[in-house]
Structure 1
Amino acid sequence: MLKTLAPLTPAADGGSAFGAIGDWAVSIMNFLGAPGVGLLVLFENLFPPIPSEIILPLAGFTAGSPDGSFTWVEALIWATAGSVIGAYLLYGLGAWLGHDRTVKLLSYLPLVDREDIDKTIAWFNKHGYWTVFVGRMVPIFRSLISIPAGVERMSWWRFGLFTFAGSAIWNTIFVYGGFVLGNNWQVLEEVAGWFQYIVIAAVVALVIWYIVHKIIKARREQRSKG
């Protein structure tokens, strides 16, 4: 029979110390044990707004609590399994979309032309495996990177291998970190939050650069024609 966690510690403001998502995650871990960690991570892959930065440290915290029903190693194994399964589901979505359909959809985007798409696809085909590996450790892109891998029909077993490796590193940092930090597990969430802000800022800067570049290029072409 599964043991249950100790009651949640009330926060100073009268709410839960874990927050709404944390409460939901803990309730699933209470009910399912270590497999619940895998299920939560699977959901996180398919629905990126569910943050692994909360789920994984909480799994480690749970493993280290006196009433925990699983070890941090079991939590890590199930979390990594959930990561790989979720990645393969999104890989399948990309494979279903296919190369031609995806290129057609992208070509409808403003300021995007076929040459840009072809260059991006060529770059991904050249560096795709390492992109998948690193992408599994980058907020926002952790889930999305599986879709272009499926679109370009990356070798399914190599995709799984690099996904497993990247996910295992990310999951170990957060699960074991939550296990070691205990009640201070939120430190990991805060650090991941700053990392996410950096990623978002870099993406915004890249988008701005791309738009400015395309506008300047269009003006130059107009002048040369004139």
Structure 2
Amino acid sequence: MEAIILQMIEAFKELSYLGIMLSLTFEFIPAELVLPLAGYWVYEGDMNLYGAIFAGSVGGVLGPLTLYALGRYGGRAAIIKFGKYCFIKEEHIAKSDQFFVKYGGSVAFLGRFIPGVRTAVSIPCGMAKMNVWKFIFYTYIAMLPVTAVYVYLGYALGTQWEQAGEIFSQYANYLLIPIVLFIVWMVVKRRKMNLQQ
């Protein structure tokens, strides 16, 4: 399966930065493969590092946006029916629902860092009819640092780009905890300000 996905990604390479965006639009193509490979293309001199990071971040929003639309316009029945094509199971949706109830709109950001929630988290955002621009903003600022790290690792590792996922998983908490804490602090501060008004 991974070999087929890699062939698809290589085909998308012909479209340059647009290819990176499009490959990430399909939720069944793992970003953990696409982004380090994009970094390797930077290493080879086929792309610019910042261009690849930007394209990866935009693509990282397009995929969740399709699930957001499915949740918003299709409802739970459509998600259960079509979610399997994106490898989304009913238990993923249930976990994401609970997470959304607990954290509200900020789930579009925070959920990107939680295993078992990150893929399906867009669905309850759509079902709750969360403002689409707010959803895009939260998703983009969540995807930007993750994308930057993966692409840079692929670039730095060069021909060993396939090791990027393993390295990222070892240090992910150290990289992401400060970002998550900062956003949580912002959300808490904003809620306090709203209560005082």
1:123–1:41 CA distance, 2 compared to 1 (3 A): closer
**Following superposition, which runs of at least 4 residues in structure 1 exceed 6 angstroms of deviation?**
none
SS in 2 for 1:144: coil
1:71 alignment partner in structure 2: 48
Q: In 1, distance between residues paired with 2:142 and 2:99?
A: 20
Deviation, structure 1 residue 122: 7.2
Deviation, structure 1 residue 20: 4.0
Q: In 2, distance between residues paired with 1:127 and 1:144?
A: 15
1:127 alignment partner in structure 2: 103
1:138–1:175 CA distance, 2 compared to 1 (3 A): farther
Deviation, structure 1 residue 64: 1.3
Match of 2:9 among 5, 25, 28: 25
Q: In 2, distance between residues paired with 1:182 and 1:121?
A: 40
Deviation, structure 1 residue 165: 0.7
Q: In 2, distance between residues paired with 1:139 and 1:121?
A: 14
The question of whether the paired residues in 2 share the 8 Å contact of 1:22 and 1:58 is answered with no
Using CA pairs under 8 Å that are at least 6 residues apart, name the structure with larger relative contact order, 1 or 2. Answer: 2
Alignment length, in residue pairs?
A: 158
The question of whether the paired residues in 2 share the 8 Å contact of 1:125 and 1:152 is answered with no
Q: In 2, distance between residues paired with 1:77 and 1:126?
A: 31
1:60 alignment partner in structure 2: 39
The question of whether the paired residues in 2 share the 8 Å contact of 1:28 and 1:36 is answered with yes
CA deviation string 1:141-160 (max 9, x = no partner):
33311011111112222211
Deviation, structure 1 residue 135: 2.2
Q: In 2, distance between residues paired with 1:139 and 1:61?
A: 26
1:121–1:19 CA distance, 2 compared to 1 (3 A): closer
Match of 2:65 among 81, 88, 91: 88
Q: In 1, distance between residues paired with 2:5 and 2:98?
A: 39
Deviation, structure 1 residue 80: 1.4
Q: In 2, distance between residues paired with 1:186 and 1:121?
A: 33
The question of whether the paired residues in 2 share the 8 Å contact of 1:75 and 1:175 is answered with yes
Unmatched tracts of structure 1, length 5 or more: 1-17, 106-111, 196-226
The alignment status of 1:186 with 2:191, answered yes or no, reads: no
1:54–1:139 CA distance, 2 compared to 1 (3 A): farther
Match of 1:38 among 13, 18, 21: 21
Quick one: percent identity of the two aligned structures? 29
CA deviation string 1:50-82 (max 9, x = no partner):
22111110001101114x1x2121111111111
RMSD: 3.2
Deviation, structure 1 residue 136: 2.1
1:69-218 alignment to 2 at 5 Å?
Answer: 70-98=47-75, 124-191=100-167
1:139–1:54 CA distance, 2 compared to 1 (3 A): farther
Structure with bigger helix share is 2
The question of whether the paired residues in 1 share the 8 Å contact of 2:99 and 2:107 is answered with no
The question of whether the paired residues in 2 share the 8 Å contact of 1:98 and 1:152 is answered with no
1:223 alignment partner in structure 2: none
Deviation, structure 1 residue 127: 0.6
